[in-house]
Structure 1
Amino acid sequence: MLTILIVDDEKLERNGIKFLLNRENEDFQILEAANGKDALGVLAANHVDILFSDVKMPYMNGLELTQQVRELYDDVEIVIFSGYNDFSYAREALRYGVVDYVLKPVDPAEFSKTLARVMENIRTRRERKEQQEQQADYLTKYFLIDYLYTGNTDNARKLEKLLETGDHILDRCVCMILAGAANGFFETEEEHFIGALKDQIQREFYYVNLNSNESLFLFTEKYTDYRGLADTIRQFFLKQFECDCYFAVSELFASWHDMPDVFKKLEKLLEEQFYQPGQHIFLSGADNDVATDASAEDSEIMEQIAHDIQYKDTAHLRQDFGRLEQKYRADKQFSQMYVKFVFSSILKEIYEQMAPSDEKALSKRVDRLYRCRKISDVLDIVSGAVEEFEKCAEEQQGGFRGEVTTVKNYIYHHYGEKEIGPEKLAALVYLSPGYLSAVFKEETGVTLNRFIREVRMNKAKELLENTNMKIAQIAKEVGFSNSSYFCRSFREFFGDSPESCRRGMTDEDALQKVQKP
């Protein structure tokens, strides 16, 4: 609804303008003032879109009012009313930014045309402002995402320039929650959940989509139970979209400048979803295993240890073995024979991977284990075998470069497949999804999801610059089922729209464009 202020010292004249406004097929809020001085008071207390003012009034005439309004409220559209004899005043008022004038007595048809022109000015200005704000937001996310992944100080400075223009939520953020999903959830449902989630959690947040399976939520409140908030978001996604997400919750940070280090910790933390599928929320700086150790069954831990050994995942092998070791060192209620059986099974798994043909060495180690008279000695024997396995796996570690190369080549040739992610790629090279993710990140410096997005976006850019394919076709070609999501992702990845990319605009051009007054 537009708000209109009518300023005229004659009440009859004001009523005439109100009558004409009410004839229009629009819904207006109409305010009145008897002179320029009163009008300034009304403007100070209300947002006004259009000012209709007579020229000659007591206390402060229309020209003086126009001058002050233009200095104080540069987005107000001003229309002057003047009699034929006062036409020179109207012409002078044009110097002060008056958009139009209407001669008295007012002709209804001319008034309607003038109002239409003014309303079109407002609509155009609002659209331009909305586009500029949208472009600034895309650029903000572009520079922020690059800074999160690379720590690039040049883009951090550009981000700082963007944030100088006003109060941006990023300047107030103190906590981030990294959300992970599957099957491209954040591509297919992003447009539907943002507004609904804000209504659900009733708090301010800044949303950054990282790729089709990962998104970041940034919050401003220092004194909040963020673990509880993450659980609320999880339940929302589960109930509304039947999607069970995983969440990594950061510790509080002082400034967005600290975000890259915080983000790296969250990425690593979120990888725990592959090893602890029953746990959905992981807290940075907390022992996320403590809650599961007490209730974890031996069979579950043993299954995970076998999984770790099979995929030479030494980091999680040490972690899972530590859970079992801690349990039996602290609890004396189990029989020695049962404990020996449990840990001899681990010995067998290790030796089958390290030296499958050396049955003699395995028999000797198992025999030693069963001769132990203390549980602590049993644990020490198996702990030593774990250390041997770690050294053996470390020596073979260079072999995983081949697996990483295979995965990269697959992505290069199958980027157009929608269902491409850690699970599918891990099966390709016979590694666990979690371990492939860790090895891939160590080898390439980026996560699998990030690498897939980079390949898709660079291919899309190549197609935009070198072909005449439609944007919707390109989106489908590089693995996006939703073309509007593709356009948003492209803007956030490159800093500008696919159309601008096709025209050859750079992120520097886009930055200068949004910073123009």
Structure 2
Amino acid sequence: MRSVLIVDDERIEREGIAALLQMGNYNLEILEAVNGKEALTILKEKKPEILLSDIRMPFMDGIELTRQAKIMNPDMAVVIFSGFSDFNYAKEAIRNGVLEYILKPVDPQEFKNVMDSVMSYLDKKKQNEEAMQKNQEFLGQYFLHKFIHNGKSEIMDDAMKIMDVSWWNRTGRMLLLNGEDGFFENYDGNFEQMLTEELPFSFHYLNYDSDSSILCFEQNVKVDFQILAKHIFEFVEKSCGRQIYIAVSSQLEGKEAIPQGMKELESLMENRYYRADQWIFMPDTNWENKENYELPLEMVEKMEEDIRLHDIAHLWEHYNKFMKYKEYGAGFSYIYMNFVCTNLIKSMYTQMDYPVEKYSNVIEKMFHVENIQEVAEALEETIHLFEQKLFSVKNSNRSEVEKVKSYIYAHYQEDINLEFLSAEVYLSPGYMSYIFKKETGEGLAQFIREFRLEKAKELLCTTNKKIVQVCAETGFTNPSYFCKSFREYYGCSPDRFRKNEIQRETM
């Protein structure tokens, strides 16, 4: 509810104006003051949006009151009352930012016309503020999406010219939420608002593609993020009747860490193809609190599982961490190192269906190496061989990826997803996701979304089709989501983009 302050030293005048306001059904809280000084106190405490003031009053006249009120709130709607003899004062008041003035004695119809104009002014101002706020939000998402995607510092420089993105430097953690079957595109409601109302602290939200959204939390948010992820999972399951995967990044420091944080999240999210019973994926942030002997043991267990699942991406990740412990003197002996690496090598050869006689010489060699470095090198060589064997020849990977890309180019208007496309080329979703990201540098869902947006841009530039038609013909099922995605990707709405192109062509 808006509030209005009536200022007049005559009680009967104040009561008359209040009665006219009530008759007009403006739904306003009515405040009163007998002079300018009292009015200033009320303006500071109550912050009304409308000021109705007489010009001639003791202690402080309406001109000075208007001037000080406008300093406090430049957008305040001010209406003054003046007699014919005060007309020069009225002109001075208008120069000080008065919206309207009314001659005394007040004519009820004139008063109604003025108040209708005031309410229209405030409504329009509110709409403009909301539009500007929304535009700022879209621009923020546009720049953040670009920054996460390629990590170039120039993007932040461009963003800072038109908006405040200082929070990028304060980002402490990122969460990646991943649904399926276009969850975020087809969600019937405002997912960001739903989460905002549920969580007790603020975050920055970015819809990354139709299946993924990112939450960025600033460093001052102190919470157990594993518990938070579990809470979000349970809340979404209860509110939406859907289960989503959630990955949590390591602690981040500075804006440069945001793109790296995204890479970590995507790597963690790959686990969903191999760990079917798991919905939340965390970085191994608790290693520093473990005893030295526990560290290599945990990594070995992870590598054994990676080998069994043919999960090359995580095998390399866990191997590199295993090697770090060696470099930092993690307190495990040469004998132990030799033993675990030999077993890992055996596991990989077994998975490659090599007969024992074909790799027995490699195992025999392991018992004659002279230092830990040689053991590590033998393990690394076998991982390379394992990767090469799994993926056969790189050209084969490229061939499968090209088949998938060709299918997308021809069927982007249809409902396509990772599971469907991997089945088309007879690969598992996990393997398909890995080689597609390796070959193209981006996830499949993101690739599909960007290609659809490129086709939408073509239609906007070359046809007069309505936005709803463009949405449907480029594979988007939700016009609202399409417009939001377009603004995030191109920095403006589809309608504005088309108008800009028309203006460019006519110049």
Q: Same fold per TM (> 0.5)? A: yes
For the residue of structure 2 that corresponds to 1:3, the secondary structure is strand
Alignment of 1:86-485 (within 5 A): 86-164=86-164, 172-189=170-187, 191-220=189-218, 221-286=220-285, 308=310, 314-315=312-313, 349-351=351-353, 362=355, 364=357, 388-393=385-390, 396-418=393-415, 420-485=416-481
1:442: Cα distance to partner? Answer: 2.2
1:277: Cα distance to partner? Answer: 2.1
Contact map agreement 2:169 2:253 (CA 8 A) in 1:
no
1:173: Cα distance to partner? Answer: 3.8
Kindly tell me: are residues 59 and 274 of structure 1, through their superposed partners in 2, closer, same or farther at Cα, counting changes over 3 Å? same
- CA deviations over 1:467-503 (Å, ceiling 9, x no partner): 1111111111111111011111111111100001111
Q: Which amino acid aligns with 2:422?
A: A
Gaps of 5+ in 2: 321-342, 368-375, 503-507
Alignment partners' CA distance in 2, 1:196 and 1:390: 43
Q: Which amino acid aligns with 2:279?
A: H
1:22: Cα distance to partner? Answer: 1.1
Task: Considering Cα pairs closer than 8 Å and 6+ residues apart, tell me whether 1 or 2 has the greater RCO.
Answer: 1
- CA deviations over 1:435-458 (Å, ceiling 9, x no partner): 222222222222212111110111
Alignment partners' CA distance in 2, 1:277 and 1:487: 34
Alignment partners' CA distance in 2, 1:80 and 1:12: 17
Alignment partners' CA distance in 2, 1:252 and 1:346: 33
For the residue of structure 2 that corresponds to 1:191, the secondary structure is coil
1:348: Cα distance to partner? Answer: 5.6
1:69: Cα distance to partner? Answer: 1.9
Q: Which amino acid aligns with 2:242?
A: C
1:94: Cα distance to partner? Answer: 1.2
For the residue of structure 2 that corresponds to 1:45, the secondary structure is helix
After TM superposition, the score normalised by the length of structure 2 is 0.82
Contact map agreement 2:175 2:248 (CA 8 A) in 1:
yes
Alignment partners' CA distance in 2, 1:143 and 1:367: 55
Alignment partners' CA distance in 2, 1:367 and 1:454: 50
1:307: Cα distance to partner? Answer: 5.3
Alignment partners' CA distance in 2, 1:348 and 1:174: 42
Q: Which amino acid aligns with 2:419?
A: E
Q: Which amino acid aligns with 1:403?
A: E
1:428: Cα distance to partner? Answer: 2.3
Kindly tell me: are residues 33 and 171 of structure 1, through their superposed partners in 2, closer, same or farther at Cα, counting changes over 3 Å? farther
Contact map agreement 1:440 1:447 (CA 8 A) in 2:
yes
Kindly tell me: are residues 169 and 40 of structure 1, through their superposed partners in 2, closer, same or farther at Cα, counting changes over 3 Å? farther
Identity of aligned residues (%): 38
Contact map agreement 2:345 2:382 (CA 8 A) in 1:
no
1:414: Cα distance to partner? Answer: 1.4
Alignment partners' CA distance in 2, 1:468 and 1:250: 44
1:42: Cα distance to partner? Answer: 1.3
- CA deviations over 1:112-160 (Å, ceiling 9, x no partner): 1110001001111111111111111111110110011011333211222
1:431: Cα distance to partner? Answer: 2.7
For the residue of structure 2 that corresponds to 1:12, the secondary structure is helix
Please name the residue that 1:71 is paired with: 71
Gaps of 5+ in 1: 323-339, 353-361, 375-379, 507-517
1:343: Cα distance to partner? Answer: 11
1:464: Cα distance to partner? Answer: 0.7
Contact map agreement 1:350 1:386 (CA 8 A) in 2:
no
Alignment partners' CA distance in 1, 2:439 and 2:361: 39
Kindly tell me: are residues 363 and 133 of structure 1, through their superposed partners in 2, closer, same or farther at Cα, counting changes over 3 Å? closer
Contact map agreement 2:184 2:211 (CA 8 A) in 1:
yes
After TM superposition, the score normalised by the length of structure 1 is 0.80
For the residue of structure 2 that corresponds to 1:351, the secondary structure is coil
Alignment partners' CA distance in 2, 1:245 and 1:177: 12
Alignment partners' CA distance in 2, 1:138 and 1:387: 44
Kindly tell me: are residues 363 and 44 of structure 1, through their superposed partners in 2, closer, same or farther at Cα, counting changes over 3 Å? closer
- CA deviations over 1:347-386 (Å, ceiling 9, x no partner): 565227xxxxxxxxx26459999x9xx9xxxxx9x97976
1:304: Cα distance to partner? Answer: 7.7
Contact map agreement 2:352 2:389 (CA 8 A) in 1:
no
- CA deviations over 1:46-92 (Å, ceiling 9, x no partner): 22111000000111101111122223311100100011221221122
Q: Which amino acid aligns with 2:88?
A: S
Alignment partners' CA distance in 2, 1:259 and 1:228: 22
- Please report the RMSD computed on the Cα atoms of aligned residues, expressed in angstroms: 3.8
Alignment partners' CA distance in 1, 2:30 and 2:205: 38
Kindly tell me: are residues 315 and 134 of structure 1, through their superposed partners in 2, closer, same or farther at Cα, counting changes over 3 Å? closer
For the residue of structure 1 that corresponds to 2:97, the secondary structure is coil
Report the number of matched residues: 468
1:170: Cα distance to partner? Answer: 5.1
Contact map agreement 2:348 2:386 (CA 8 A) in 1:
no
